[in-house]
Chain A
């Protein structure tokens, strides 16, 4: 893998904009990509394929000719980027942690008035014909 080339092309895929850092600013091609590749070693080949791209045009041609490989390469890049704590904080994403159900939360989202139209329409199934 051409490490320098990979950093440059990944920054094309994930540039700094809209208040978010570029991939290279958060080690997305370093330790975070390493974690992704440990989690799924089959993503290494798509990343190696990505690393030979140099321009946005190369990326477009990569997607046009090898869409499945391109999708896996970009999935790996994005996954690595979104592992970084700073990126997650900027996205307002705490991860898939626990969020216990609070007392009264069920009723908060679902009151009787919301369900009333469904109930008022009455039976909505086809009965067993020979029952």
Chain B
């Protein structure tokens, strides 16, 4: 390993992988520190009979439940939503659904259009070329021509089948005149590069045994390592170090045996998600002249409505991954009593015991005991869920701070999350629930059930080191470079100015690739190596 890395990347998840691959391909010396390890595909639990149980225990998305050695605890006592993440090579892409929507043009101009939040310092048009590139790098399966977006998208793979449930959902949406489209997913519908074709196990969110889902341990790291990047696993960063001039000089980290190390670097790139990056910047006491590090946390409050139908929809079968998306209620309509809106997805419901989680509205005797079997015969395989993921606008009172008592397994102070769902978000969710019931009814559902996922919906941790042009009101510039520390970049979801309602990985990857291009393009302008 080099004594001094050209670029030190902290975190080997989606954004860190994109940066490492791009920089290594350009001949830049990359070292990446990742607190987790490689996860072997045959260790994923989808093959096991007790998969339903394992997805809520040692394969849970909530690190406070999962408690793998690579995880750190998070104090969520003051949070309405639990942050979810995975700490490994591939990061959150190991357990994400791989739903791959872009942000819409309006998402970058919320202040201009709706008078709330802030505008991004970049536009959809700035990011569009990078969206195109990450679509190819991640092997996205989609159908071109969605009128909900500017007409530039050309997906590299055909869309995944929408399945019987998607057809049923689409028929209802057509009856109502509401938008829908086959959802783009970073799941290969055909063999593509190192990705296998999807086998539709429906267990995408506990890892893909087929290697069909684009997790960056498959799609990016083999290329990055081939091109010279050094990936150090089991390396938990304690702090980013700075030199006498206030420039980042590397990172102190702890290995799995408890040994302390320092990796020196000429540049540091933070890629630890909206919780981890804020935690490390606060612990390092850097890059925070704006006072905004750790503030404006957004996590997309989400809710679902299950529809039960009178036919077998193979509702347990994947991909999951989202077969169908709707943006019918995405853009602002002032008459609704809130601004912005929600993204809808139609999802299958895998497993048998998971049905218990949304039948709670039935009397006990209808969901257990004398009514159990009749109810399960009626709902199992004959149901799917419409979900609404809402746009929670930034609020400086929603924060990541450093806990004064809780520490991780290496004694490093843990993050404390304070997050309250706003009244507007509650109104937004109530509106979406009513519309989702209507959608199911238009599709012919014989009954509907509210599926209240909160608090375990914090898949998307955004906004805690926002980008912007003004150092007084943002942490990093439009390329992710710290206003305060010129050789420090942030490239994960922390940079989001507003949250949109979208699954963010596509945009995180596009922003990271744009940042990496900028680092490559400006390399010649930087001081020569010592």
Contacts and interface: CB of A to CB of B under 8 A. Distances in A.
Interface string B160-174: 111110110011001
A13 B158 CA distance: 46
B439 to A, nearest CB: 14
B331 interface: yes
Interface stretch (B12-20, B247-255, B373-381): B373-381
B189 A101 contact: yes
Contacts of B143: 110
A110 B163 CA distance: 8
B49 interface: yes
Nearest to A91: B380
Interface string B51-80: 111101110000000000000000000000
Interface stretch (B130-138, B147-155, B391-399): B147-155
B203 interface: yes
Contacts of A126: 104-106, 113, 331
Nearest to A20: B373
A79 interface: yes
B411 interface: no
B238 interface: no
Contact of A78 (B317, B356, B370): B356
Nearest to A83: B49
Interface string A9-26: 000111101111000000
A4 interface: no
B192 interface: no
Interface in A39-93: 39-43, 56, 59-60, 63, 71, 74-76, 78-79, 82-83, 88, 91-93
Contact of A96 (B166, B177, B203): B203
Nearest to A110: B162
B174 A128 contact: no
A121 B147 contact: yes
A4 B98 CA distance: 46
A78 B368 CA distance: 9
Interface residues of A, number: 59
A100 B199 contact: yes
Contacts of A76: 53
Contact of A82 (B105, B147, B149, B352): B352
B54 to A, nearest CB: 5
Nearest to A82: B352
Contacts of B376: 91
Given A18-B377, A91-B352, A109-B162, A79 B147 contact: no
Sort chain B's interface into a size bin. Answer: 35 or more
A99 B352 CA distance: 18
A3 interface: no
B364 interface: yes
A17 to B, nearest CB: 5
B526 to A, nearest CB: 32
Interface string B1-37: 0000000000000000000000000000000000000
A131 B123 contact: yes
B410 to A, nearest CB: 24
B449 interface: no
A18 B50 contact: no
A86 B42 CA distance: 26
Contact of A108 (B145, B161, B198, B318): B161
A82 B381 contact: no
B152 to A, nearest CB: 12
B182 interface: yes
A127 B54 contact: no
Interface in B455-473: none
A106 B316 contact: no
Given A71-B360, A82-B352, A91-B352, A99 B200 contact: yes
Chain A CB within 10 A, most for which of B49, B145, B166? B49
A71 B356 contact: yes
Contact of A92 (B160, B364, B381): B381
B127 to A, nearest CB: 11
A13 B180 CA distance: 40
Contacts of A17: 370, 372-374
Contacts of B109: 128-130
Interface of B: 46-54, 56-58, 104-106, 108-109, 112-113, 123-125, 143, 145, 147-150, 158-164, 166-167, 170-171, 174, 177, 179-182, 189, 197-203, 210, 312, 316-318, 327, 331, 350-353, 356-357, 360, 364-365, 368-370, 372-374, 376-377, 380-381
14 contacts: A12-B369, A40-B57, A59-B364, A63-B364, A75-B353, A78-B352, A96-B350, A99-B201, A101-B161, A106-B158, A118-B147, A121-B179, A125-B148, A130-B123
Given A106-B162, A125-B106, 17 more contacts: A15-B370, A18-B374, A36-B53, A40-B57, A79-B50, A79-B352, A82-B52, A83-B50, A91-B380, A96-B46, A96-B318, A109-B164, A109-B166, A115-B170, A121-B147, A125-B104, A128-B125
